[in-house]
Amino acid sequence: MPRPRLPAAKAAATGAAIRNPSRFKGRKSPKNTRPLGKPYAGMTAVEIRYWKEFDAELSWLNSGHRVLVRMACRLSAKMDEGEFGVSAAQALSSILSKLGATPVDETKVAQSGGEETDPGEEFFGRPN
């Protein structure tokens, strides 16, 4: 089974587009995408808290991910309430994987800040 295609926005956020520019050269991103936006009106306070957390942590999410994020928020809130079975855990895991929010994906995202810079970088780094 082939690996799933990496969205261009996620490739840019994780640095994959920089490491393999030829792989993403002809890839087109969806046009006219909007940010994830505000939570749905019928969501509870706990679900809204998760919505804001997903929005802040997963910078590549856009309006096309709203329904999946809503489902992830609802399942995450159920997990907090203690009403969480095996099927709900599998569903949440699947949704988080589709959103690129699994621990495996987390290791691929380049974190900014807190990293030490190499003193020789100004002399040996790439020009512009």
pLDDT tens digits for 89-123? 999 999 998 888 877 755 554 444 444 555 555 65
Q: Name the β-bridge partners of 35.
A: 62
| Distance from the Cα of residue 94 to its chain's centroid | 13
pLDDT of residue 5: 74
Rg (CA), the chain: 18
Nearest Cα to 10, choosing from 65, 66, 60?
60
The one-letter code for the residue type at 122 is E
pLDDT of residue 73: 97
Burial of 46 (0-12, 13-18, 19+ CB in 10 A): middle
Q: 48 pLDDT exceeds 90?
A: yes
